[in-house]
Amino acid sequence: MLTQDTSVVAAQLGNGNRPRVEDLVNMPLLGNISTDEIIPGRCCYVYDERLGDYAYLGLRGKVVEEGAVRSFAPQIIVSGEAKGCGSSREHAVYAEKYAGVEIVFAKSFERIYEANCRNVGIITSDDFTLLDALLAGDEVTLEAFTLGRNDVEREVIHSGGLFSFNRSTGGRPTARRFDGLRPLNSVEKILQAHLSPRNELPNGASIRVGESYFVDVDVRFSHEYVTPMAAEMFLREFGAEAALAQPESCYFFQDHLSLAPSVLEGRSGGPALIERVELLNSRQEEFAAMAGGHFVGPAVAGGSRAICHNYIVENVALPGDIIIGTDSHTCTSGSVGSFAFGVGATDIANAWYNREVLVKIPPVIKINLQGQLQQGVCAKDLMLALLAHPEIQGTRTLGKVLLFTGPACATIEMDERATLCNMAVEAGATTAIFERDTITDRYVEGRGLDDRKADRSAGWSSDKEACYDAIVTIRLGQIEPMVALPGDPRNAVPLGAVQEPVLVDSVYGGSCTGGKAADMDMYASVFAKADERGLRVAEQVHAYIQMGSEAVMSYATSKGYVELFERVGVKVLPPSCGACINAGPGVSTKETEVTVSAQNRNFPGRSGPGQVYLASPYVVAATAIAGRLSSVEAMLGNEETP
């Protein structure tokens, strides 16, 4: 039982007097347990049964020791709301599986985590009456756990996982339920147009919300954290002679750990960890060379050529595409009008073989944007405000899609759209998307790509009578600078509400969220004002700006930003995921350290043991100069906003 009092978790795993079950069931359960807490990033450098020893090493409070969960071998794990938020790493469910877990109960589940459980044969349930029955010694049938599931989900669960399901069905039709003809929103139109042949749409029918269908994928990508695990699955399941379906639409990125050695070398067991990183890299390169596709590897100048999400938006994604990647922030490509979402290792291995992925047709929340953001307020503030919005916060968006519409979309350029879509997963959503418009067309044309899908890129606008799960109107002029307090991106409050001074040790402007060209404009606008006044980064602050791609580095260099950043005392880093995943400069090393970051999540242990506040590029830059969490106005002495 993962209780809010984590000392009780430790007591259950200890050798002394363990709490009684009848006492445990009445204790408040821990919610929002991230996959970083289930298994820290450093433990994802392996992908075999050793994962079982690492289960829950990252749990807040650091009360679980290595091997403790596996030694206890619980068949059942119980927790609160939003189990498995954060990263898409399938290592988390394998850590539980190899530790002996067969059933996971939670008040609610994040989509990717629950899909990963289903794919590897772990049963999930939010029906606590079944838990009560099991604790009472009653026999509970598997059918009881699949009540309320759609037909395909039920069959996958009864088969024991996705690969077993595919073997048992042999690619035969799966979905049996469709609606009659009805108005569709743009999300439904894209998914319906991509139905796999085994889910052929009957005449006069439409896809049904809540039903699962296999759809054909346009783009598939993975990074070095996951490629070796998925490659092993692929070869084991389909054979050494198996080939990728349409390898030209597959991408392999070496971006997550490209700067990891620079921080691992100073940690306990650093040389062994660096060796594991190198092994992941080499295995990914070997598989990419064998399988074909595009390998986007390290840059000559250090780091990587690009963070995967930035690269896909800059070079690959098109309106109407379906894109899957082994990273929860794959949703970034919704900015270009793609239906893009994160998957685990099993899903990507299966999709390498047949281009298919199972999608449960999601309810859509229409976000109607009105007005215009104030000067000094940006998409990061808007997204943090949305995380705290009463119709978005909590678990209201789990398994749903955020569709950004409204007249204000015309004021939001591509990089800022990417920030909004990128953080949809922090809201618990499956993904987010902007409908194709003139900004989309201008951006795609500006990339200079061919028109390989011009015939399919039009016509994805929603029907006027389309249905939505909810419609939320946001008046952009009312959005103010925001900050997410440590522990969870959903701890978002107005910056002005933070009354006590927050002294900082580091600031980090980077990641797929904060490393785009528009973000560089924002950092530079603040640092230029500081430079004019002879101000520099506060003496005690370590400040980092990290580019999201080589294209962004080229842009920042041409604009004179790199020189400006260095002049005011900022260390400029090459493209890489870096500090965001505790694998590059900018990570904390002590629990007392405080960081203000432009990245997307701040779960416990995500970027080291310290406390992380999330904020916009404006606030990150202002904080670097002020030495404390600060608005731009406060940093400038209340004179002006850039």
Which architecture, in CATH terms, is 482-635? 2-Layer Sandwich (3.30)
Is the distance from CB of 323 to CB of 272 less than 8 angstroms? no
Is pTM beyond 0.85? Reply is: yes
Q: Is it the case that residue 457 has pLDDT exceeding 80?
A: no
Domains of the chain by residue range: 6-159, 172-480, 482-635
- With a pLDDT cut of 70, the percent of the chain lying above it is 97
Q: If pLDDT is split at 50, 70 and 90, which confidence band does 525 have?
A: very high
| Rg of the chain, C-alpha, whole Å | 24
Same fold, 172-480 and 482-635: yes
Is the distance from CB of 479 to CB of 377 less than 8 angstroms? yes
The predicted-structure confidence for 236-264, as pLDDT tens digits, reads as follows: 999 999 999 999 999 999 999 999 998 99
The predicted-structure confidence for 491-506, as pLDDT tens digits, reads as follows: 999 999 999 999 999 9
Q: What's the DSSP call for residue 507?
A: E
Is the distance from CB of 431 to CB of 424 less than 8 angstroms? yes
Q: If pLDDT is split at 50, 70 and 90, which confidence band does 615 have?
A: very high
Q: Report which of residues 641 and 461 the model is more confident about.
A: 461
The predicted-structure confidence for 23-45, as pLDDT tens digits, reads as follows: 999 999 999 999 999 999 989 99
Is the distance from CB of 186 to CB of 435 less than 8 angstroms? yes
Q: Report which of residues 131 and 198 the model is more confident about.
A: 131
For residue 456, what pLDDT is reported? 47
The predicted-structure confidence for 42-73, as pLDDT tens digits, reads as follows: 899 999 999 999 999 999 999 999 999 999 99
Q: How far apart are CA 366 and CA 141, in angstroms?
A: 39
Q: Is it the case that residue 441 has pLDDT exceeding 80?
A: yes
Q: Is it the case that residue 455 has pLDDT exceeding 50?
A: no
Tell me the CATH number of domain 6-159, given options 3.40.1110.10, 3.20.19.10, 3.30.360.10, 3.40.50.12780: 3.20.19.10
Start-to-end CA span in the chain (Å): 50
Q: If pLDDT is split at 50, 70 and 90, which confidence band does 459 have?
A: low
CATH number of 172-480: 3.30.499.10
The predicted-structure confidence for 69-127, as pLDDT tens digits, reads as follows: 999 999 999 999 999 999 999 999 999 999 999 999 999 999 999 999 999 999 999 99
Q: Average of pLDDT values for 133-152?
A: 95
Average pLDDT, the chain: 94
Q: Is it the case that residue 453 has pLDDT exceeding 80?
A: no
Q: Is it the case that residue 200 has pLDDT exceeding 90?
A: no
- Listed ranges 11-15, 16-20, 297-301, 375-379; the one with the highest mean pLDDT: 375-379
Q: How far apart are CA 453 and CA 323, in angstroms?
A: 14
Q: How far apart are CA 639 and CA 642, in angstroms?
A: 10
Q: Average of pLDDT values for 602-606?
A: 93
